[in-house]
Amino acid sequence: MLLLTVNAHDKSLKFPEKVLAKWHDHSEFSGAFREKYRDCKANYPLDLPNARQSSGEAPKKRPRTGADESAAATEVKVEESALKDVADLKPLHHKAHIVSSPKLNIEVCVGQAVYIANHTNEVHVVKEGAMIGGYWKGKFWSTQPAKGKDGAEASVAAPTVADIPFELSGSTSRVQMNSKVVPLGSLIKTKREISPADALVAYHVMRDQPTADDASAFVLSPKAFTVYWKMEDLKPKTTKTEGGGDDLIIPAAHIAGTIPHTKWSSSKYCEVLWAVKWPSVAAKGLQPVRPLVAMKCTVTLPPGKALEIVPEDV
């Protein structure tokens, strides 16, 4: 039997956070647990929104804006209905401070929903192109069959959800070079002016496809095999908070791997893209370094609010 706690403010019931965090996204039993949890919420006043926070209570301090005029061109107006009070978020699995906006958190909650959360009394901004999550150590592998000693091709394991493909579509693809997110087309155009024969993208076939807006536009298709990045298993170090609980904060460079890359890719606010580099042997083409998650647009977070950037599993 579960011990539900009572919210002293409105007498509603609250599900134990540790139980939710352990079983809601469990690899084997999540389906059965979620069904029972939905039944409980349908029949009892369970895990209701915090009445004080949702009433629109003003912050105690007067907020100041952190907006930057240079971000205005890519800013997306976040509707009030898309925001939640930080007090109403489900229990945490992991959280990380955003490197470019350290007063904001990336929070992965029960249900694998991901939020940008502002726990301060001030307005803060996350700019387009900002890295909000990275991947832990990993290694590259490909579906190109290897030949054994007898000359026969060995079988290749099929990729899983943990494998991130290095696949770019063309000149409009966004990549990161020297910590700056840019269109792939701009890198290739510059390289063509210096060394046309070396203006290639590794593991891809390039075909020029000029448009009315861009005479140097091109499209890419994979070669006969695909290159993947496989992240090593994250080994978080648990520390204790001042209150005696577990500290769930992990480095932002690790947090992207806590949910499948396909969930990040489904977001309208962020995307999985690749850090790239030109190799010392130019003929090999533009090389992948590692995947990361970056903002597609600029968003402004009011005090005490959280924006869901990756939807919760249903």
| Strand partners of residue 83 | 307
Q: Which residues, 6 or more positions from 198, have their beta carbon under 8 angstroms from its beta carbon? A: 191, 282, 283, 285
Query: What's the pLDDT at 61?
Result: 38
Query: What's the pLDDT at 185?
Result: 98
Please, what's the largest Cα pairwise distance for the chain?
74
- In tens digits, the chain (314 residues) has pLDDT values of 455 666 655 566 666 666 666 656 655 666 676 677 677 766 666 665 654 444 344 333 333 444 444 445 578 888 888 899 999 998 888 899 999 999 999 999 988 899 999 999 999 999 999 999 999 889 999 998 877 666 677 778 889 888 999 999 999 999 999 999 999 999 999 999 999 999 999 999 999 999 999 999 999 999 989 999 998 877 655 555 455 555 567 888 889 999 999 999 999 999 999 999 999 876 689 999 999 999 999 999 999 999 999 998 76
pTM: 0.75
For 29, the token pair is 């039993």
C-alpha–C-alpha distance, residues 40 and 85, integer Å: 23
C-alpha–C-alpha distance, residues 80 and 219, integer Å: 39
Q: Which residues, 6 or more positions from 49, have their beta carbon under 8 angstroms from its beta carbon? A: 85, 88
Query: What's the pLDDT at 3?
Result: 58
DSSP string, 184-213: HHHHHHHHHHH-GGG--BTTEEEEE---SS
Cα–Cα separations (whole angstroms), residue 33 to 16, 28, 107, 117, 214 = 13, 10, 22, 27, 52
